[in-house]
Amino acid sequence: DTRLKAIIRHTDLVTLNPKEATADDISALRSAGLDDADIVRLSELIAFLSYQIRVVAGLRLMAEVA
């Protein structure tokens, strides 16, 4: 599925190498069938989950030190 592949590619990109994301990456999502609202929701979800993962990693580290 082209749409799913574009979403996964974008998720990997902004999670692992956010500085490398460009306007062309947003265009690729649009070309795969996502509209602007979909792209915003996807970005919010990625950011929220990334934040949660980092918080959990920090809490685990604190628990190991204690």
pLDDT value of position 66: 80
- Encoded amino acid at 24, one letter: D
Q: Give the residue numbers spanning the domain of 6.
A: 2-65
pTM of the full predicted structure?
A: 0.84
Quick check: 42 and 13 in contact, CB under 8 A?
Answer: no
**Which CATH number characterizes residue 28's domain?**
1.20.1290.10
Q: Give the total number of structural domains in the chain.
A: 1
Which tens digit of pLDDT belongs to each residue from 4-61? 999 999 999 999 999 999 999 999 999 999 999 999 999 999 999 999 999 999 999 9
* Count of CB atoms situated within 10 Å of the CB of 34: 19
